[in-house]
């Protein structure tokens, strides 16, 4: 399987002579790769016990020679294929047949050690190096991970135990990570039990993720489904994600390191996804957002059984911005807090951050929302020196299960609302803010001033 149409077509694209309604409306056409080999040809054994890292590495090294001949496919048949971390190559399809399970080794010596990402400075969980992800791509182009609903299982329980007992030597690995790559397609795959993130495109362009299922148990610490990180032109659609922490989290670097790296997450389209988050947010923005997050279109979500439905996170010292976010047509069920915006969220990588690097949170539209069994409608806590502005709510109906007389809490925030129940706080009822509000209801799907 190959990408015939690169995902470089985005906002200005026309389909059948009409403007696209968003990145996810780009019509991908796939064709067969001209070359294909099975992992069996490289001595792999699918018994769940034999370590197959060398087999994967040798197979991909061999297939690299076909990059200028139309690319190649690595076929993984039914079986349980135990492996440590391995790298992909450009113009490659990794195809997992039905019943094929790539298992991440529970021996940390089978996972490579690499430097922290430059936009995160000294590292995330621990200062210093980190474990490389199970499946990796670095500076690649035209890569497909797909199949007949095959599975990538990180067997993360041991990593979660090491994390909670503070016995990790390096920061936890992810399941799949692409760094500085473009034209990536991930589809028809199940991800299970990631040590940390499941799908992490960082410094990437033109990433299309669709029809995947992602799961980690409720007690798994800081497991996250999909994390677009300092990446642009990203489509996420038709996915089902249930995680211990966040389901989808958009990020762009941490404090002074993210500011210096200066690569935002932008032009993201998310639609028709089911999201569940045990201890975090179904859909999160930040809190590491120092490179900026903007131009995000979100449609047709089902959020359920989560601590928070939709949350915007930042703090003083982050810098950056979260702006021009348009969210519509969301169904919420059994959510503790439907909407959150927290200007005092998260820690700092070190003491070198600039406390005067104030983040901007502005021009956020949330409309056409129905919520059932909601404990709290919204908690918007901005920053005194940099209040959150142009927070716009329209056609929101939440059934509150609490007897609390204050379903909304607001401070250092301003915006406009109409047709919102329960009635929001006064800060969100400012008619003067209506001119700054954004709307999704435009022909090209982009936010535009009302």
Compute the average pLDDT of residues 215-234: 97
The answer, yes or no, to whether residue 11 has pLDDT greater than 50, is no
pLDDT on residue 430: 81
- All structural domains of the chain: 31-179 (2.160.20.10), 228-442 (2.160.20.10)
Residue 6 pLDDT class (50, 70, 90 cuts): very low
Beta strands in 106-149 (DSSP E): 113-114, 130-131, 135-138, 141-147
Residue 374 pLDDT class (50, 70, 90 cuts): very high
The answer, yes or no, to whether residue 242 has pLDDT greater than 90, is yes
Q: What distance, in Å, lies between the first and last C-alpha atoms of the chain?
A: 43
**What ranges in 341-431 are assigned the alpha helix state H?**
none
Residue 449 pLDDT class (50, 70, 90 cuts): very low
pLDDT on residue 27: 66
- Predicted confidence (pLDDT) per residue in 12-34, tens digit: 222 222 334 678 887 666 667 99
Token output for 257: 């390191």
The answer, yes or no, to whether residue 177 has pLDDT greater than 50, is yes
- Predicted confidence (pLDDT) per residue in 263-302, tens digit: 999 999 999 999 999 999 999 999 999 999 999 999 999 9
CA 29 to each of CA 2, 4, 95, 410: distance values in angstroms, whole numbers, following the listed order: 9, 6, 17, 47
Token output for 420: 């919102």
Q: pTM here?
A: 0.92
**What ranges in 39-183 are assigned the alpha helix state H?**
53-63, 157-164
- Predicted confidence (pLDDT) per residue in 326-336, tens digit: 999 999 999 99
Mean pLDDT of the chain: 91
Regarding predicted confidence, which is higher, 439 or 60? 60
Residue 190 pLDDT class (50, 70, 90 cuts): very high
pLDDT on residue 75: 98
pLDDT on residue 31: 66
């Amino acid at each position: 399987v190959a990408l015939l149409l690169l995902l470089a077509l985005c906002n200005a694209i026309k389909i059948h002579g009409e403007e696209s309604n968003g990145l996810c409306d780009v019509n991908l056409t796939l064709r067969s790769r001209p070359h294909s080999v099975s992992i069996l040809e490289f001595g792999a054994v699918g018994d769940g016990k034999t370590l197959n890292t060398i087999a994967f590495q040798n197979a991909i090294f061999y297939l690299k020679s076909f990059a200028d001949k139309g690319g190649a496919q690595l076929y993984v048949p039914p079986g349980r294929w135990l492996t440590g971390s391995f790298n992909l190559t450009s113009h490659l399809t990794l195809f997992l047949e039905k019943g094929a399970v790539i298992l991440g080794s529970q021996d940390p010596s089978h996972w490579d050690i690499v430097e922290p990402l430059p936009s995160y400075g000294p590292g995330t969980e621990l200062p210093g190096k980190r474990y490389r992800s199970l499946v990796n791509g670095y500076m690649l182009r035209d890569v497909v991970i797909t199949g007949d609903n095959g599975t990538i299982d990180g067997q993360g329980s041991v990593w979660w135990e090491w994390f909670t007992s503070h016995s990790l030597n390096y920061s936890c690995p992810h399941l799949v990570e692409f760094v500085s790559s473009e034209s990536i397609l991930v589809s028809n795959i199940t991800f299970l039990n990631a040590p940390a993130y499941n799908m992490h495109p960082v410094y990437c362009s033109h990433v299309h993720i669709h029809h995947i299922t992602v799961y980690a148990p409720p007690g798994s610490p800081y497991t996250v489904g999909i994390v677009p990180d300092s990446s642009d032109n990203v489509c996420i659609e038709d996915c089902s994600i249930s995680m211990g922490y966040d389901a989808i989290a958009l990020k762009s670097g941490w404090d002074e390191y993210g500011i210096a790296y200066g690569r935002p997450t932008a032009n993201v389209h998310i639609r028709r996804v089911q999201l569940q988050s045990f201890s975090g947010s179904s859909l999160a923005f930040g809190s590491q957002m120092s490179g900026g997050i903007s131009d995000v279109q979100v449609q047709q979500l089902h959020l359920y059984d989560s601590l928070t439905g939709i949350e915007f996170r930042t703090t003083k010292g982050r810098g950056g911005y979260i702006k021009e976010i348009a969210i519509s047509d969301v169904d919420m069920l059994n959510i503790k807090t439907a909407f959150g915006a927290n200007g005092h969220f998260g820690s700092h990588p070190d003491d070198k951050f600039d406390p005067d690097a104030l983040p901007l949170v502005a021009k956020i539209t949330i409309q056409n929302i129905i919520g059932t069994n909601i404990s709290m409608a919204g908690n918007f806590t901005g920053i005194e020196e940099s209040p959150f502005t142009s927070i716009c709510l329209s056609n929101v109906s939440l059934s509150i299960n609490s007897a609390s007389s204050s379903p909304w809490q607001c401070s250092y925030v301003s915006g406009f609302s109409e047709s919102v129940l329960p009635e929001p706080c006064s800060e969100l009822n400012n008619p003067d803010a209506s001119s700054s509000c954004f709307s999704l209801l435009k022909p090209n799907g982009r936010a535009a001033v009302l």
